[in-house]
Chain A
């Protein structure tokens, strides 16, 4: 699965950053520069795949 950062500019002076396809710390490493560049973070929520290890395929059994 391709790793993507989806930045959405909400039209009210805020932005959202959604990381897709990441597992583990790679997500935080990839997004940190964008969070710093755009403005202060007000909320950060872990996603379900965050608890999976590196290399785990989402949805695989």
Chain B
């Protein structure tokens, strides 16, 4: 049946997450680990948190801590952002990241299915992916 769907975005695709981080200025600065790796604070101190996808503090800001994304048992990535860094990498930035990861996920899925996908921005500034289905 033809329909109009609304849903809540989740980041589950590591490649899409990395591509989205690259779009947000971290190209070549994203570490990916098969097993979670230790995050470090701005003084080089090991923090208790561990993550699969990491941007080291030197790429984040002068007094920043590592940014991390831990993949949970259910496949979703959870962001680990220190209180200090939430001013820049807080909910607004994370929502933008989630949007871009969704765009990347859709583009990758379309490519894997042999479907043509066009990326664009609508009149309200929202990202769109238009998939042509044969």
Q: Which residues of chain A have a CB within 8 Å of any CB of chain B? A: 2-19, 22-25, 27-28, 30-31, 33-35, 37-47, 49-50
Q: Is the pair B3, A44 in contact by a Cβ cutoff of 8 Å? A: yes
Q: Is the pair A25, B6 in contact by a Cβ cutoff of 8 Å? A: no
Residues on A with C-beta less than 8 A from B105 are 37-38
Q: A4-B130, A9-B128 are in contact. Are A47 and B2 (CB under 8 A)?
A: yes
> How close is A55's CB to chain B, nearest CB, in angstroms?
14
B113 in the interface, Cβ–Cβ < 8 Å?
A: yes
Residues on A with C-beta less than 8 A from B2 are 19, 22-24, 27, 46-47, 49-50
16 A-B contact pairs sorted by A residue (CB < 8 Å): A5-B131, A7-B129, A7-B130, A7-B131, A9-B103, A9-B126, A14-B6, A15-B7, A16-B6, A18-B4, A19-B3, A39-B10, A42-B6, A42-B8, A47-B4, A50-B2
CA distance A9 to B7 in the complex (A): 10
Residues on A with C-beta less than 8 A from B106 are 7, 34, 37-38
